[in-house]
Amino acid sequence: MKGNIYPVDGGFRVRYGRHIQKRFRSLEEAERFLTGIRFKDDEGTLDARDYASENPLSFETQAERWLATKDCSTSHKRNLTYWLGLAADRWGDRNVKTISFGDIEDFIRDQPVGNKTKAEMVNCLSQFFRWLEKREGIQPPEMPVVEYTLGWREIIDLTTQQRILDEVQRIAPTRIWIGIKWLATYVSIRPNEMRQLRERDINVNGMLVCRPATTKERKPKLVPMTDEDIALVRSLPKGLPDLYFFRREQGRGVHGVGKQIGVAAFYHWWVRACRNLGIKGVDLYGGTRHSSATAMAEFFTKDELREHGTMHGTNKAFERYFQREHAPSREIYNQIRLSRSRPDDTKTSAK
């Protein structure tokens, strides 16, 4: 029969084929193990990886391999790493094939976080196990469902938004004001995507080019500018192509002139302007992107806003630089600008 038991110092060694070897202290243990291996081989369920000394199918090993394949934003990668780290603390060297629905449900339930974060953790584990199925042929466990309700985000009308933008222009550095103004106009761009723009990313056709490495979806995002903003950019001193467009205009050392603005710069000046005006409870995201997109629902359909306004799921390849293809987007952004400056008149004319 296949497989043998050999006496060694201090016990016995089972050898089965070329890949399975295991030591035991007693002959009884070795015989029991060998019998189990032969049974699994006969029924066609034997997987030599389950018995390898380096434990290649351990949760921790496979989680590290999966994370190495992920090409996503720095913040998202940080979250995935943290969540899988928590799971590795619980399951460690455990064979991934033995992790069940109940194990995952218990793990998620025990986390001291809100349901939204729990749902994101479940999604992380779901992606991991789907990858395992493709890579190793391991059937993924069923995933628990975590219900949650999104938190409420305050929005404002565009007249109030314009008051805040005017205050930002009064108190903040010019490029900070431009960045916040653009966040309130080009609702397809997130704050950190805006911050990552370089001089070369504002092209001669009047396009803001968010490159794949800077977007959450890891896809290019081309955003047409209004004529007003094209003229505004042309009025500024032109920097070298690799310089960040949103850069410091004063400072020293690592925070000196020409360096990229900080992660919280837009938020800081937005909050400061709101405080000056006595406006409370409106954050940067809600007061710019969400407020503008909500206001545009009066002038455009949901599909028009999704495809040409917020651009969720419709990023195009870099070669699409023809302005005629972006006319609907430019119309939406122009309407946002007009609605901030003449809300009553534009509402009447749009109808």
**pLDDT tens-digit readout, 175-213:** 999 999 999 999 889 899 999 999 999 876 788 998 888
SS3 assignment, position 284: helix
User: What letter represents residue 165's amino acid?
Assistant: L
In this structure, are residues 261 and 247 in contact, taking their beta carbons and an 8 Å threshold?
yes
pLDDT at 106 over 90: yes
Which class would CATH give 59-136? mainly alpha
pLDDT at 68 over 50: yes
Position 46 confidence tier, pLDDT thresholds 50, 70, 90: low
Q: Please determine, looking at this structure, whether the domain spanning 158-350 carries the CATH number 1.10.150.
A: no
pLDDT at 147 over 60: yes
Q: How many CA atoms does the CB half-sphere of 24 hold within 13 Å?
A: 17
In this structure, are residues 269 and 176 in contact, taking their beta carbons and an 8 Å threshold?
yes
In this structure, are residues 175 and 245 in contact, taking their beta carbons and an 8 Å threshold?
yes
Which pLDDT score, from 0 to 100, does residue 174 have? Answer: 94
Tell me: the pLDDT tens digits for 308-343? 555 544 433 333 333 334 556 667 777 777 777 655
Which pLDDT score, from 0 to 100, does residue 4 have? Answer: 75
Which pLDDT score, from 0 to 100, does residue 203 have? Answer: 78
The residue ranking higher by pLDDT, 325 or 97, is 97
CA distance 248 to 235: 18
Q: Considering only CA atoms, which of 27, 128, 132 is closest in space to residue 85?
A: 128
SS3 assignment, position 239: coil
- Please name the residue that has the structure tokens 């505004």: 232
Position 72 confidence tier, pLDDT thresholds 50, 70, 90: confident
Q: Considering only CA atoms, which of 343, 173, 298 is closest in space to residue 245?
A: 173
pLDDT at 304 over 70: no
pLDDT at 306 over 90: no
SS3 assignment, position 35: helix
Tell me: the pLDDT tens digits for 77-88? 899 999 999 999
Ranges for all domains in the chain classified under CATH 1.10.443: 158-350
Dihedral sign computed on CA atoms, order 336, 340, 346, 351: positive
Round the average pLDDT of the chain to a whole number and report it.
81
- Please name the residue that has the structure tokens 């032109």: 238
